[in-house]
Chains A and B, each alone.
Chain A
Amino acid sequence: AQTVTQSQPEMSVQEAETVTLSCTYDTSENNYYLFWYKQPPSRQMILVIRQEAYKQQNATENRFSVNFQKAAKSFSLKISDSQLGDTAMYFCAFRYNFNKFYFGSGTKLNVKP
């Protein structure tokens, strides 16, 4: 069975600072894909970043980057220069087969002015 664990239910960060959200997963699969989704108060699910497991290079998207450690099954999200608009729930997700997505329980991030 595939599981995704986000051990930080809630985090806070000051505007302009850097924050890291943790995610670990458990799988016996070798080829899979990892995603971070953002859910602002509007409830819309927005893709932040994705990582292919076969790629060693960590993905980056502007202020968002990941630290992917395949052996440790860890996939953390780093947000640099945090902005008020980054306040949201963040979900880590894992996909390995067709349409099977597994999501973590989420981390609620609060960016303080």
Chain B
Amino acid sequence: EAQVTQNPRYLITVTGKKLTVTCSQNMNHEYMSWYRQDPGLGLRQIYYSMNVEVTDKGDVPEGYKVSRKEKRNFPLILESPSPNQTSLYFCASSRGGEWTEAFFGQGTRLTVV
């Protein structure tokens, strides 16, 4: 089954404790992205990747890191999480071409206390 898999689905952590949210897709898509969803703001892009070892900042990259060492994986790293990073996070992948839609993971609900 074609899918984007994120882990974990729920995470509660403390301020300053490094964490990683994993994302994996099995569709051989070139493009992968991370978004955060906040009430009243919709989804905002954090980082995106056009292929292995090629990443770029989205609209809200501060406080986040990403890497793309393999085509299928695109982890999101919070080196020192803060309470304002409490949010719902989505990973998405898509094929090349502007007409293709993004396929989303199930979401990760992160709470930083």
Contacts and interface: CB of A to CB of B under 8 A. Distances in A.
B13 interface: no
Given A98-B31, A105-B40, A43 B101 contact: no
Nearest to A97: B98
Contacts of B48: 98-100
B42 A104 contact: yes
14 contacts: A35-B101, A44-B104, A47-B101, A50-B101, A97-B98, A98-B96, A98-B98, A99-B50, A100-B45, A100-B48, A101-B43, A104-B42, A105-B40, A106-B42
Interface string A99-113: 111111110000000
Interface of B: 31-33, 35, 40-45, 48-50, 58, 88, 90, 92, 94, 96, 98-99, 101-102, 104, 106-107
**Residue of B31, B42, B96, B104 with most partner-chain A CB within 10 A:** B42
A105 B104 contact: no
Given A43-B106, A44-B106, A101 B42 contact: no
A24 to B, nearest CB: 14
Nearest to B32: A99
Contacts of A42: 106
Given A45-B102, A101-B102, 9 more contacts: A33-B98, A42-B106, A44-B104, A99-B33, A100-B48, A101-B45, A101-B92, A102-B45, A105-B41
**Residue of A50, A95, A101 with most partner-chain B CB within 10 A:** A101
Nearest to B47: A99
Nearest to A42: B106
B33 A91 contact: no
